Amino acid sequence: MRIQLKSPDEIRLMRASGLVAAEILEDMCQAAKPGVSTWDLDQIARAGIAKHAKRIEQEVVDSASAITKLSTDAKDELARLTETYTGLRALAKPGMTTGDVDQVIKSEVDKHKVRSAFLNYNAGGKPPYPGVVCTSRNEVIVHGIPRKTDVILDGDIIGIDFGIFMHGFCADTARTLPIGNVSPQKRKLVDVCRESLEKAIALCRVGSRLGDLGHAVQSYVESQGFSVVRQFVGHGTGKQMHEDPQVPNFGKPGTEKRLKSGLVIAVEPMVNAGTPDVEELDDEWTAVTKDRSMSAHFEHTIAVTDDGPWVLTRPTSSPGNP
């Protein structure tokens, strides 16, 4: 599919989605302690999704009931109530049956509510993805499946990758955490991966090229003695989790597509302590380093705006202030 640039209104909805994804990821990070299983983290994320889904449903129902009580000339109030749930405007028409009203409410709830972007995700003949989160410990690069038997240990590094749809738009974000007493080498790997993402984010502005981003990540990571994974890349995101363009974590400056205002991309460097080579385990998802060296992964969903980068999955960010 062609690149889908987003309007300012769509980016506003994607920001709301990004904040919810960030909040739930933060809840998982707080809970990630020795003795906690990756399954427990998945359960936390499921509870967070359910809570926010219910909240949206309540918002739609409350707005709908306010609209049906409005006098027909209350234009400003209608605009306010339907700023996000635009389908509710239909309720301002007189003569609707309660059945019609219920239909409108149901379709707005379905369109806007929160759901996992990962659960049952289908990718090229693999079994559907069984979790709402990917949990990737130590030599696992990405796509680790949460399991009761996969318990976090002191000294681990663990990548937690989480994605949702809300208001019909995806937010995709990941972080790698050091757990307890982590070796200096592992700590450096995590710090370098995090910093490499920041270098790419700084370039998420109109006129940059995708090769500039890839080069910024790759050159920094390699200068620190680590390697970038080639087999997986970042991606555009929006109504689909994975949209064009691909966003590699390697490349040459001044090459590839130019970034335009309205582009929203998930940038996600995967950094290995050893070689960049990847091996897939028998579960068909878990991607580990071929040499079993440690690996780190960070990801944010970023909008390119006229004012500069807006990190939609970072609560403190605003347009031009990543």
Q: Which residues bind ligand MF3 (CB under 6 A)?
A: 118, 121, 129, 134, 143, 161, 163, 172, 266, 268, 299
> Could you tell me the CA-to-CA distances from 201 to 181, 192, 273, 284 in Å, in that order?
29, 14, 22, 31
From 53, 60, 48, select the one nearest 113 (Cα to Cα): 53
Give the residue with the Cβ less far from ligand MF3, 32 or 134.
Answer: 134
Q: What is the per-residue binding string for Co ion in 79-118, x denoting contact by CB under 5 A?
A: ----------------------------------------
**CA gap 310, 159 in Å, rounded:** 23
Strand partners, 280: 287
User: What b/e string do you get for 145-162 counting C-beta neighbours within 10 Å, with b at 16 or more?
Assistant: bbeeebebeeebbbbbbb
Smaller CB separation from ligand MF3, 52 or 143: 143
What is the smallest separation between the CB atom of 222 and ligand MF3, expressed in angstroms?
Answer: 22
* Rounded least distance, CB 232 to Co ion, Å: 9
Residue 118 contact partner, candidates ligand MF3, Co ion, none, CB within 5 to 8 A by sort of partner = ligand MF3
Residue (84 or 116) nearer to Co ion, CB: 116
* Binding residue for Co ion, selected from 139, 161, 212, 256, defined by CB under 5 A: 161
C-alpha distances out from residue 92 to 9, 17, 79, 89, 182, Å: 22, 27, 11, 6, 59
Closest CA to 157 of 195, 185, 133: 185
Of 156 and 172, CB closest to ligand MF3: 172
Q: Which is nearer to ligand MF3, 143 or 205 (CB)?
A: 143
Closest approach, Cβ 274 to Co ion, in A, equals: 23
Residues 268-307 that bind Co ion (CB under 5 A): 299
CA distances from 7 to 42, 107, 265, 290, 304 (A): 33, 22, 14, 42, 11
* 172 sits near Co ion (criterion: CB under 5 A): yes
